[in-house]
Amino acid sequence: MPTAHPDDTVLVTGANGYIPIWVFRKLLEKGYNVRGTVQKAEKGEYLKQYFESYVEQGKLEIVVVEDITKEGAFDEAVKGVNTIEHMASPFHENVDDPEEFIGPVVDGTLRIPKSALKNNRAIKRIVITSSCAAVINVTSEARTFSERDGNE
């Protein structure tokens, strides 16, 4: 499987999230060009200020994707990238039926390969990460989670 190399462009979805921002930073430090998606322009402005030196070098770009569940949500964002690291996930706790939560997550995740197939067949690799919601279990006891703890 082909790998990405410094100077390649990597798309990081949900770039302002806790884990994605660390991936974003590491990619920039290693010499990659990084395009990040955010839901709101002001979150992108924060990233541009925080990583100002990379913006000045032309190594960082921000794209607003307001709703990752919409058809074609990532069509523009995938153009010209070599690799995608998909970390964006709609997250909210106010659901009565698990499908209210799972449906948008699955829809949003499927938009990435669909947009890639339609708009950029030169992509070398797509990495899809899970969400902490996959193992969340509200309890008052402290515990360590592992791959055996996935929610059903």
3-state helix, strand, coil in the chain (%, to 5): 35, 15, 50
Average pLDDT score, the chain? 87
Q: Tell me, what's the pLDDT at 134?
A: 63
The predicted model scores a pTM of: 0.85
Strand order in the sheet with 83-86: 60-64, 33-38, 9-12, 83-86, 125-128
Q: Within the chain, what is the greatest distance between any pair of CA atoms?
A: 47
Q: What is the pLDDT of residues 21-50, one digit of tens each?
A: 999 999 999 999 999 999 999 999 999 999
Report which of 97, 96, 107, 106 is spatially closest to residue 134, judged by C-alpha positions: 106
